[in-house]
Amino acid sequence: MTAVEMDTVDVPVAQVVDVHGTPSSGLLLAVPNPRGVIVALHGGASKSAYYDCPGFPRHSLLRTGAANSFTVLALDRPGYEASFEFVDRFTTPEQRVDWAYAAVDAHLGSRSRGAGTFILAHSVGCELGVRMAADVRGRDLLGIELSGTGTEHQPKAASVLVPRDTKVAKPDGAGVRELLWNPARLYPPELSGGGPISAPGPKYEYEVVRDWPRMNFPDLAAQIQVPVHFTAGEFENVWRNDPDALHDIGALFTMSPRVEVEQQFDGGHNLSLGYTAMAYHMNILSFVEECINDANRPGH
């Protein structure tokens, strides 16, 4: 595939749909006769705009996907944006997974899904993405991409995200921002600190962050039966991204027919917002194409 100028692509549509009496918001850029559908799940304290970088259309997953014949839905995860006031309906993982699958159906409606649906998830959003892929319904997915997550924190991140003082209710915000947005040279100055894409998150995510690395991620990864792509930024500051750590992560997906683990050159934690965002997105679109070709092989 080759990159297409972003000004030839339609603009993503912000929409709110009803999901079992709860509003679901997101950004949708649908194309006629899509190769497939990509459902993008943002990280913590952010929103669907993460995948349509404000002011930088060439960084946009939605526009890059549409330019290459994919419909892309960036979903505001359970408890974010339109569903923020309904967070009591998302206390269990099962509730969040059921709601997310229903939300995808509601946003896409009768639109074609082409060869199928692929999930792309970032940071804390990987918890929902992995749970969706590990669910029985996940066996019909084309595959899944994960970034900004892992099983072991970098030493500095561990001290910031898991305070030694047990009386501290949550990590220090300034310390977290430093982890997520450095080196600063990787991002446009206008995005420093994530202001244009930030949003308040639900309280249940404190438990997700606490239990994810050592408990939930390894157990769920072993249940995924579709192709997996995992990307670590070269300058990822939150999670270990050395060769040994990446090897161990790839080894978690014991039931997946295909696992690829890569490092994104000049990428930080927020791969979809940095200057290498298009390179990252194009790499994932290539993986999705390969998943589609594999699914279309005779006898598959």
Ordered domains of the chain (ranges, CATH): 6-295 (3.40.50.1820)
The residue-averaged pLDDT of 128-138 equals 98
pLDDT band at 160 (very low <50, low <70, confident <90, very high): confident
Residue-level pLDDT at 8: 55
User: pTM of the entire structure?
Assistant: 0.94
Q: Quickly count: other Cβ atoms within 10 Å of residue 109's Cβ.
A: 9
Tell which residue, 140, 147, 146, 149, has the closest CA to residue 37: 140
Percent of the chain with pLDDT over 70: 93
Can you tell me whether residue 101 is helix, strand or coil?
Answer: helix
**β-pairing verdict for 36-41 and 70-75:** parallel
In the numeric block, the tokens 């896409």 are attached to: 108
CA distance readout (Å), 31 to 13, 113, 123: 12, 10, 27
Tokens of 4: 């297409």
* Alpha-helix runs per DSSP H in the chain: 61-67, 93-108, 125-134, 155-161, 173-180, 204-211, 217-221, 243-250, 277-295
What tens digit of pLDDT does each residue of 265-287 get?
A: 999 999 999 999 999 999 999 99
Partner residues linked to 38 by β-bridges: 72, 118
CB of 128 closer than 8 Å to CB of 220: no
Can you give the pLDDT at residue 7? 55
The pLDDT of 135-155, averaged and rounded, is 97
pLDDT score of 163: 57
Residue 162 has what pLDDT? 65
pLDDT given at position 156? 86
